[in-house]
Structure formats: C-alpha cells, structure tokens
Amino acid sequence: MKKKSGYIWKLGLFVIAALTIFLVAVYFIGKSQNLFGDTFRLKAKFKNVSGLKNGNNVLLSGITIGTIKGISFISDSTVVVEMIIREEVHQYIKTDAWASIGSDGLMGDKVLTISPKNSLSQVVKDGDMIASNEAVGMEDLIAGLKKSIDNAQIITKELSEFSYKINNGKGALSKVLTDENFAKSIDVTLKNLKDSSNEFAVFTKKINDKDGTLSKLMTDPYYANSIKKTLSGFENSVTDLNVFTKKLNSGKGILPKLISDERMANSLDSTLTNLQAGSENLIEIEQAAKQNFLLRGYLQILAKVSMPFR
C-alpha cells in the first residue's frame, strides 16, 4: 500500500510540473503573440514580402510592439500583411506612418518596421491601411554588389592603362611629369603669372594711394569735373560730326554735291585744268615779253615799282 502511494505521489508531482511548464509556455507564447491584453490591427500592402511569415515581430523605433497575424494575396502582384499591435503604443502611430520589411540582424528572421513621420498627423484607427516601402531583396543586393564589382574592375583596368601611359611617356600628363622643357615652360608661365600679380598689386596700391594721379582721377571732384567736361566736349564733337554727316548724306549744299554729284565734280575738274593751262600760258607770255626789246624796259620799271611792296 505504501509502495502504491509512493507512485501516486510521484505521478502527482510530474503532473504538477508538466502543468506548470504548460502554463508558463502558454503565457510566453501568448505574450509574444499578443494573446493577452488589448490590441488593435493594422494592414499594409506589399508587392514582395521577402520571406515575412506569420508570427514575425513588428517593430516601432526598434521596439517590438506586435506580431504578424496574417499574410494574404489581394491580386497576383499585391500582398496584404495584417499586424496585431499592443494598444499601449496606439497613440504613437499616425496615419502618415509607413511600413517596411527588414531583417533582425544580418541572418535573422524577417521583421516589419513601422516608421513614424509627422507627429501632427492623426492617430491611426483599428483596421487602417498604412503606406509601405518595398524591401530590398537579397537578389537586388547581389545584383548591386555585382555591378559594383564590375565597375571596380573597369576602374582598375583604366588606372592600369593610365599608369602604363605615364611610365612610358605617353600623354600630356606624362610630359608634365617627365619632360624638362615642358616643366620649364610651366615654370616660366608661373613666373609671368606671379609678376603680373605683383604688378596688379602695385597698381591697386597706387589706386588706394590718395596722393596718386589715378586716385585723384577717381576721387578728386576737380579732376572728375574736368573729365566730365572733356567727355561732354567730346560728346558735342561727336554730335556735330553726326549732324555734318547727316547733311552730307542729305545731298544739300555744295560739299555734298562735290562728293556725290558727278557732273559738278567733272565741271570742277575741268575748271581746275583750265586754270592750270591758263597759268602756264601766262608764264610763257611773260617769258616772251621779257625777250621783246619793246616791253623789256616797261617790265623792268614795273618790277622796280612793285619791289617796295614785297
């Protein structure tokens, strides 16, 4: 009888331990799945959930606030994810918040992260659909990494060709590094540039010097008025010249006719030719008169009379 009661005692102890373990497991599972306490539901649409499963955690600012309740198709390209979230964080999730899918660590389980945006927006309601941001899948990461590796190979090849050209004296940069004449030319250019900058510094110093001529021209009212009068006179001269050219172009007056009238120009040319011929004839007549004995005496008397007036 005592032996039988010992078995009963052990069986009761085992049942109590199993029940305790069961209750603890139910508590932790219920807590992780938000089976206890007040909750509310949110939804988000995705084209690709990237391996997200029921029971995965929902995070807000890195803190677990809920779990994934269900994942279902609403079309051949859109999936709706339903979340169960603790009521205590309800006030922190606004209507402009957005959901994204990530990983809990490098190789951890998938998690859904809710990111707040504007604290002035309204609080979400139970069953609301919030915006989503598509997750970057492992395939996209591998494709991007492959592209980066390809670009690195191209850059490495170009750097190799570049260094080869420099070492073999090809290209302008190689000349800069190896050609002494080119280096001297650059040195002379830099020296000239330095001299020019020094001269410019002297020039600006003269401008800033109050006793300098250039400074007086720029600051002294007397010189400024003189320059103003000179420019005004030059402007008047230009105006007069403009009026003169307009008169020439208008064809009025003698000078425009002399310039543009062909008949008057020919007439003037003929007159000048006749005057020249007449003066030559007068010279010949004078020479002939000097040779004539009848007029020679008269010309000598005339020359003596006109002498004092010269």
Asked if residue 57 and residue 18 are part of one domain, the reply reads no
Whether 186 is in a domain gets the answer no
Quick check: is 161 in a domain?
A: no
Q: What is the pLDDT of residue 71?
A: 92
16 falls within a domain: yes
pLDDT at 233: 74
Rounded to an integer, what distance in angstroms lies between the CA atom of residue 197 and that of residue 201?
Answer: 6
**Dist CA 22 CA 196 (whole Å):** 93
CA distance 118 to 139: 32
Shared domain check, 48 and 1: no
pLDDT of residue 41: 94
| 97 lies in the same domain as 13 | no
- pLDDT tens digit string along 248-285? 666 666 656 556 666 766 676 777 777 777 667 666 66
User: How does pLDDT run across 101-144, given as a tens digit for each residue?
Assistant: 988 776 678 899 999 887 788 999 999 999 988 766 666 667 77
Residues 49 and 27 in one domain: no
- pLDDT > 70 in the chain, percent: 60
**Co-location of 10 and 97 in the same domain:** no
Specify whether 92 is located in the same domain as 120: yes
Same domain, 21 and 48: no
Q: Which residues contact 168 (CB under 8 A, 6 or more apart)?
A: 174
Domain identity same for 52 and 122: yes
Look at the chain and report how many structural domains it folds into.
3
Residues 88 and 105 in one domain: yes
Rounded Cα distance, 115 and 106, in Å: 20
117 in the same domain as 45: yes
**Does some domain include residue 168?**
no
In this structure, the answer to whether residues 109 and 55 fall within a common structural domain is yes
What are the helix (H) ranges across the chain? Answer: 2-32, 138-167, 172-178, 180-208, 213-219, 221-250, 254-260, 262-291, 293-306
Residue 250 within a domain: no
Is the domain of 22 the same as that of 75? no
Structural domain of 67: 39-135
